[in-house]
């Protein structure tokens, strides 16, 4: 089993749609969790951290379920500019030495 697994893509949605991405992780000792965004042929950038209580940043909501080892990202009112690959990221290893990335899910928002 891979350390971080994500929904296969791509997701093709119209502007204004709500879309949800799911992610599971295998290491129960994982301490922290994140979503990164990667635009085509660009470097990944931090989108948001994911907290046990859930957190929201504008149109983006992240949820964590430690018992199920499951992370989600919800995007409401999708914009054309949301088109990108979304990477689920987990901090594992001794003293949190590594961020492990999922394969990514590609979102394409069309007008």
Using CB under 8 A as the criterion, which residues of the chain lie in contact with other proteins when the complex forms? 4, 32-34, 42-46, 49, 87, 89, 91, 93-104
CB of 6 to other proteins, least distance (A): 8
CB of 19 to other proteins, least distance (A): 19
CB of 105 to other proteins, least distance (A): 10
Q: Between 22 and 44, whose beta carbon lies closer to other proteins? A: 44
Q: What is the 3-state secondary structure (H, E, C) of the chain?
A: CCCEEECCCCEEEECCCCEEEEEEECCCCCCEEEEEEECCCCCCEEEEEECCCCEEECCEEEEEECCCCEEEEEECCCCHHHCEEEEEEEEECHHHCEEEECCCEEEEEEC
Q: Between 92 and 109, whose beta carbon lies closer to other proteins? A: 92
Q: Between 50 and 109, whose beta carbon lies closer to other proteins? A: 50
CB of 107 to other proteins, least distance (A): 15
Q: Between 49 and 61, whose beta carbon lies closer to other proteins? A: 49
Count CA atoms closer than 13 A to 89's CA, side-chain side: 20
């Amino acid at each position: 089993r891979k350390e971080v697994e994500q929904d296969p893509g791509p997701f093709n949605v119209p502007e204004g749609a709500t879309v949800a991405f799911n992610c599971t992780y295998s290491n129960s000792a994982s301490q922290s969790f994140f979503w990164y965004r990667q635009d085509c042929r660009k470097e990944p950038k931090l989108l948001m951290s994911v907290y046990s209580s859930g957190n929201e940043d504008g149109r983006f909501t992240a949820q964590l379920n430690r018992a199920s080892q499951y992370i989600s990202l919800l995007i409401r009112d999708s914009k054309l500019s949301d088109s990108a690959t979304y990477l689920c990221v987990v901090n594992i290893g001794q003293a949190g030495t590594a961020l492990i990335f999922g394969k990514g899910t590609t979102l394409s928002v069309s007008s």
